[in-house]
């Protein structure tokens, strides 16, 4: 068995938010095609994600919020059967279709199952090719294309269900992971480190973060070498001092220079470098344990190449 797991589910392709929406099923198709063409898929253990139990989702989300999302989904299915619209609108850019609820359960389930397998030693690390993404989902609100916060659920699961004492969450999406911060802020068992373009959506991350949050806002047009220097100067010392027993990655690839969702200047080699640094830290403190979950990345070519680079390092290919 390969030491790197690749978790996904067919339902992650069924969720979609309308024609022309950037967070589209083709994102996963592009990744899978790239891994097939490059041969990287041969170095991965492919696993179909289970649905996450609601009790595990409740580690990160209010029960009433979960119930309301399920209710919206059930109502939408009824409305569609009666000839109604195909989408339910949660905010200006976040919609549900009849598959969203199940896709969100599968996405969270991938993160949880990957956590189980890595902690059990069945896998060294894992990547979850999932959508909807998660890091903008707060404890009680969807937004920014996100419904359940996959990485926050997995981090809380590792702490609560497996009894880990310290976990790190690393977020390198171009947007600040406001939902992850909302859920994990103030929990001293978690260190969250991130960089993100600022000022930019969701316009958070700079107002008096808790002591377990290391947020690095960077201006538009920041390039990879500048990001690498910030990581070496700020992230690495904090992570080394914290000594996480497991690392969770919110892997957004929309800081790539070809991705017009943001205005940063990273390339594939930068994502490979970041992954190498995290692997080094995980090897020293966390028995190599890493679970990475897909977040953003909307230029299909840049996304697929960047995920390939990320996975080559995780799988040591």
Query: Which segments within 198-267 are labelled E, that is strand?
Result: 213-218, 247-251
Do residues 282 and 119 touch, judged by C-beta distance below 8 A?
no
* Angle of helix 100-119 versus helix 150-160 axis, rounded to 10: 40
HSE toward the beta carbon, residue 184, CA cutoff 13 A: 37
CA distances from 292 to 125, 275, 277, 313 (A): 8, 10, 14, 12
Instruction: Out of 15, 61, 136, 285, pick the active-site residue.
Output: 136
Q: Are strands 88-91 and 190-197 parallel, antiparallel or unpaired?
A: unpaired
The Cα–Cα gap between 116 and 67 comes to 26
Angle at 196 between CA 261 and CA 308, to 5 degrees: 65
Q: Dihedral of CA 289/272/204/206: which sign?
A: positive
Q: Is 76 helix (H, G, I), strand (E, B) or coil?
A: helix
Q: Is residue 175 flagged as an active site residue? A: no
- For residue 71 the two structure tokens come to 């209710």
Task: Determine if the peptide bond prior to 132 is cis (ω within 30°).
Answer: yes
- For residue 30 the two structure tokens come to 């592009």
How many CB atoms are closer than 10 A to CB 266? 29
Residues designated catalytic = 136
């Amino acid at each position: 068995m390969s030491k790197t797991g690749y978790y996904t589910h067919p339902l992650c392709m069924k969720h979609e938010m309308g024609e022309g929406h950037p967070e589209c099923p083709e994102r996963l198709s592009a990744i899978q095609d790239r891994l097939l063409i490059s041969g990287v898929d041969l170095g991965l253990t492919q696993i179909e994600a289970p649905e996450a139990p609601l009790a595990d989702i409740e580690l990160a989300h209010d029960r009433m919020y979960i119930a309301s999302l399920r209710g919206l989904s059930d109502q939408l299915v009824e409305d569609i059967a009666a000839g109604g619209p195909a989408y339910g609108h949660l905010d200006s850019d976040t919609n549900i279709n009849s598959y969203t609820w199940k896709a969100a359960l599968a996405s969270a389930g991938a993160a949880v199952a990957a956590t189980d397998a890595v902690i059990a030693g069945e896998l060294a690390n894992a990547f979850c090719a999932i959508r909807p993404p998660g890091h903008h989902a707060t404890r009680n609100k969807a937004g920014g294309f996100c419904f359940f916060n996959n990485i926050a659920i997995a981090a809380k699961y590792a702490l609560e269900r497996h009894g880990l004492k310290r976990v790190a969450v690393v977020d390198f999406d171009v947007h600040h992971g406001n939902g992850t911060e909302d859920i994990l802020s103030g929990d001293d068992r978690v260190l969250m480190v991130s960089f993100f373009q600022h000022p930019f959506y969701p316009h958070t991350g700079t107002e008096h973060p808790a002591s377990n949050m290391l947020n690095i806002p960077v201006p538009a047009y920041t390039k990879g070498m500048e990001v690498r220097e910030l990581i070496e100067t700020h992230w690495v010392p904090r992570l080394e001092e914290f000594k996480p027993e497991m690392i969770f990655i919110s892997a957004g690839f929309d800081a790539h220079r070809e991705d017009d969702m943001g205005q940063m200047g990273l390339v594939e080699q930068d994502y490979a470098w970041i992954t190498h640094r995290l692997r080094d830290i995980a090897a020293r403190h966390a028995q190599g344990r890493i679970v990475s979950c897909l977040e953003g990345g909307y230029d299909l070519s840049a996304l697929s190449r960047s995920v390939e680079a990320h996975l080559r390092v995780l799988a040591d290919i």
